[in-house]
Amino acid sequence: MTSKTPILQLGAEVLRQQAQPVDDFACPEFHKLIETLNETMLEANGVGIAAPQLGASRQILIIASRPTARYPHAPEMPPILMVNPSFKIVDNSLHKDWEGCLSVPGIRALVPRYRAIEVQYQDQQGEPQRLALQDFPARVFQHEFDHLLGLVYLDRVENNQDIIAETEFFKRIAA
């Protein structure tokens, strides 16, 4: 895989499959996939990416909150690789906010997500980690985690009127 790896688009079969756990942390293909995920996410100006988006049905994701044209108010945080992640809800309240997806270009939607979660995952060496996330980083994690379940953010939309064209979204945030 090169850094110009295409991001699969909605309709690709792997985006609707449950991703498989990673059990071999020494495998060269695993490390190459991580490198490609990171490069592809940065090139696409994404704030997160999951392995199924590159055609790999593996439980691997990266969250990388930072201000971008698509998310101008996102907080800055270093990219975090998460392998075999799971989470528990810390705050049951749901908050609707705008989301887009590198696999669903041109569309934005209001999506309800939990505001605060605690994530358990393995790092690149397979060591267990825990991380508390809230607000935008928690939203990014839940969005990417859905990819591991075979879901996309549009599956979480409560009302079709909450879906808009990205051109309309940019008009709203510019106002």
101 is in an annotated binding site: yes
Which of 161, 150, 122, 126 is CA-nearest to residue 15? 150
Vertex 96, ends 121 and 72: CA angle to 5°?
A: 80
d(CA 46, CA 149): 20
Count of positions (residues) in the chain:
175
C-alpha count within 13 angstroms, C-beta hemisphere, residue 44: 25
Distances (CA, A) of 130 to 23, 59, 108, 117, 140: 19, 16, 30, 11, 16
DSSP alpha helices (H): ranges in 26-105? 28-43
Residue 127 known to be catalytic = no
Q: Which of 144, 158, 166, 168 is catalytic?
A: 144
Binding residues for Fe cation: 101, 143, 147
Binding residues: 101, 143, 147
Catalytically annotated residues: 144
